[in-house]
Chain A
Amino acid sequence: MDGISLLTITVLAVFVGFEVVSKVSSTLHTPLMSGANAIHGIILVGAIIVAGQASDPWVLAVALLAVVLATANLVGGFVVTDRMLEMFGGRKRPVEKQPPSPAAQASGGKEGAR
């Protein structure tokens, strides 16, 4: 791709990046940071390309190290973010003060049996 197209894309991406996180509550700062952290693990694509073109064993070794590091960033980043958000999700459900009435459970059971 020619330089000017890449520049255009870069500049537009800057604005998108500013825009998408402009109004976020401090509660979500940590997961958002962790999520963004996972996204730059996509350098894995670059590491794979470099490793795929390597012919010299040393170059391959360094490229494979880059693949390992990038994978750790990508996989670890998404997993740890998901774990954090799982906990946030847990308390989003409305707190049920009363247990469901026996009648409701019974009818639910019947419907399940049908």
Chain B
Amino acid sequence: MTLLDPLWTSLLYLAAAVCFILALRGLSSPRTARRGNLLGAFGALLAVVTVFVSVKMDNIPWILGAIVVGSAVAAPVARRVQMTQMPQLVALFNGVGGGAAALVGLLELGHTGDAWVRVAIVFTLLVGAVSFAGSAITFAKLQELMTTRPVLFPGLPVLMGAVLLAAVGVGVVVVFNGSFALALVLLALGLVAGVLLVLPVGGADVPIVISLLNAFTGLAVAASGLVLGNVLLVVAGTLVGASGTILTRAMAAAMGRKVTGILFGAFRGGSTAGSTTASDRPVRSSSAEDVAVLLGYAQRVIIVPGYGLAVAQGQHTAAELALALQARGIRVDFAIHPVAGRMPGHMNVLLAEADVPYESLREMGEINSEFRTADVALVVGANDVVNPAAKTSAGSPIYGMPILEVAEARQVVFLKRSMRPGFAGIENELLYEPQTTLLFGDAKDSLTKVLGAVKAL
């Protein structure tokens, strides 16, 4: 088979790179987002076809087989995953990408004698391994395979420092002698560093870490592009690295955090305040009928949906309740915290899935001043995003995060599974306030009962 002319190869790679840039551009606006994503997928397809027709290759049946296996595993999972579990999946895909970059770097070590290329290889190995292991821990935290609270132990900062120093030391040696065995050691050090990086991060901050690791994988891919002399990998990897960095900062800003604070706050012992267990102070719990009366005779109700609502798949019931209340002439809005759910923008996705009309979804900045005029704020499966500790308690892990001002409403109703603290693992003082009523139970069950009682009024 004759191979494609290098000029054409470069032009096709250029076209793919332009597709990626336009994809990111498109994803920044709701109108063009879907088209942008499809354009990105087209660019990727173009690049993969180009590599097959432009490089002399053996093992083509094996490679095609591996591509089929990868697609057959990933596509159905991505198709079927529940939207509530989507953050985990993104972390997982990010991790395997980082792992692939590290393996490419490892295998290229034998093909080069150039010390500068080996610098790029060392970078790819280390960053790819950090991203892989970090994403694995992130996945475990989000899937609740392990505790979502920061994991800290004495000597953690020292251990992290030692691992990083060792990695740099081994890396320098690999650059000079290209030893494969030491490259494996470097890979192992990268994996340990990735684990140590994410362990001390608190559950609520995990999404920001996904974004950061996403940027890391991008940089590892860019470095592997330098190793292989492939411009497309350099451009695509750098794009993701740069945009991922900006995105990480934007997300952190939306949560009122600093990226360095998230990563190193725990090292300084800054984010360990708050109790770990539910306290036994008295709260006012109530029946679905009482809640229905509160809601049914209100003039203005604001529903604050949280992750608990999504887990219980109660979006549709919440939407129905809103309709039932509106039929009684009550004004109903949904107040969406930017990080409601488990990722910025996650709740918008979930409620859009439940066909809640766009006009009823109100952003935090817009609706916060309106809680004062609300008779009832109905908090469904949310905790951290309405926790006044974010404003009042300087030692709290969520201190500084903007919150929905539900305490301003005349009555606050919490639908909660139990008194267990939220994802950030801290207690909510609002639960003990006199204007607060609690209705315990699964969010969907409670909503169904309240809905039935409202209809019976």
By size class, the interface of chain A is: 35 or more
Q: When A47-B103, A60-B59, A69-B100 are in contact, do A87 and B353 touch as well, CB less than 8 Å?
A: yes
User: Is A45 within 8 A of B217, CB to CB?
Assistant: no
CA distance A76 to B55 in the complex (A): 26
Restricting to B212-238, which residues have a CB under 8 Å from any CB of A? 214, 217-218, 220-222, 224-238
A43 and B235 in contact, given A17-B241, A64-B66 (Cβ under 8 angstroms): no
Once the chains bind, are A55 and B58 in contact (CB under 8 Å)? yes
What residues of A have a CB within 8 angstroms of the CB of B358 in the complex? Answer: 91-92, 95
Q: Among the listed A14, A18, A68, which residue makes an inter-chain contact with B66, where contact means beta carbons less than 8 Å apart? A: A68
Q: Are B97 and A73 in contact (CB under 8 A)?
A: yes
Determine whether the beta carbon of A9 is less than 8 Å from that of B100.
no
Kindly list chain A residues whose C-beta atoms are within 8 Å of the C-beta of B103: 47, 62-63, 65-66, 69
Check A13 against B233 for contact (C-beta < 8 Å).
no
In the complex, the answer to whether A69 meets B246 with C-beta atoms within 8 Å is no
Which one, B87-95, B259-267, B280-288, B383-391, is touching chain A?
B87-95
Check if B453 is an interface residue, CB within 8 A of chain A: no
A28-67 CB contacts (< 8 Å) to partner B: 28-55, 59-60, 62-67
Cβ A76 vs Cβ B66 within 8 A: no
Question: Nearest CB to that of A78 among chain B residues?
Answer: B41
**Interface size, B (range):** 35 or more
- Do A21 and B224 touch (CB < 8 A)? no
On chain A, the residues within 8 Å of B446 by CB distance are: none
Chain A residues near B56 (CB-CB < 8 A): 52
Q: CB distance A39 to B100 under 8 Å?
A: no
- Chain A interface, DSSP helix/strand/loop, else mixed: helix
Please give, as numbers and ranges, the residues of chain B lying within 8 Å of A74 by CB-CB distance: 44, 70, 97
Do residues A76 and B348 form an inter-chain contact, with CB atoms below 8 A?
Answer: no
Interface 0/1 of B28-63, CB less than 8 Å to A: 111101101110110010011001100111111011
Report the bound CA distance from A88 to B349 in whole Å: 6
| Minimum C-beta distance from A50 to chain B (A) | 5
B60 → chain A closest CB, angstroms = 7
Q: CA A8 – CA B108 in complex, angstroms?
A: 23
Task: Give every chain B residue within 8 A of A83 (Cβ-Cβ).
Answer: 78-79, 83
Chain B min CB distance to A9 (Å): 6
A70 to chain B, nearest CB (A): 4
The reply to whether B242 and A18 form a contact with Cβ atoms under 8 Å apart is: yes
Residues on B facing A (Cβ under 8 Å)? 16, 20-21, 23-25, 27-31, 33-34, 36-38, 40-41, 44, 47-48, 51-52, 55-60, 62-63, 65-67, 69-71, 73-75, 77-79, 81, 83, 86-87, 89-90, 93-94, 96-97, 99-101, 103-104, 106-108, 110-111, 116, 210-211, 214, 217-218, 220-222, 224-247, 250-251, 254, 338-339, 343-346, 348-349, 352-353, 355-359, 363
12 CB-based A-B contacts, threshold 8 Å: A9-B231, A13-B239, A16-B21, A16-B242, A17-B245, A18-B245, A29-B345, A33-B343, A36-B218, A42-B16, A64-B63, A68-B73
Residues of A within 8 A of B (CB): 1, 3, 6, 9-10, 13-18, 20-55, 59-60, 62-92, 95
